[in-house]
Amino acid sequence: MTTPAPSEVFVHHVLFYTHAAASAADRAQLLEGLQQLQRIPGIQLAHIGTPAATDRTVIDRTYTYSWLCLFASAADELHYQQHPLHDDFRSRYARYWEKVVIYDAVGPTS
């Protein structure tokens, strides 16, 4: 008898870096955009974060928002990328960030 492989989860993690001259209102706008993104169906878990208090040399604390979402499959993540709310997010909110860094990772959870 073989043990079935644990199911794989698709992790999509985006770090948003706002412009140096961004105001508190600009950052609030971007946060509002991320809150809209959460409404896209198929997201298993979404997390909107800001840098924690932890501070070691290997920790990047220079981003403004961390947007993490988990999907049951790569197909679900593709569906998210292609959803009209995602298009809307890009067209309305891209002005608020200077840089994004994305990590997409697939593997088991425990």
Compare residues 74 and 88 and give the one whose CB is closer to a copy of itself. Answer: 74
- What is d(CA 15, CA 103) in angstroms, rounded to the nearest whole number? 9
CB of 3 to a copy of itself, least distance (A): 15
| Beta-sheet pairing, 8-18 with 65-71 | antiparallel
Altogether, the residues listed in the chain come to a count of 110
CB of 29 to a copy of itself, least distance (A): 17
For binding to a copy of itself (CB under 8 A), which residues are involved?
9-11, 13, 15, 38, 45-54, 56, 58-61, 63, 66, 68, 70, 74, 77, 100-110
Compare residues 23 and 49 and give the one whose CB is closer to a copy of itself. Answer: 49
CB of 2 to a copy of itself, least distance (A): 19
Decide if 4 contacts 101 (C-beta within 8 A): no
DSSP-based three-state secondary structure for 2: coil
DSSP-based three-state secondary structure for 40: coil
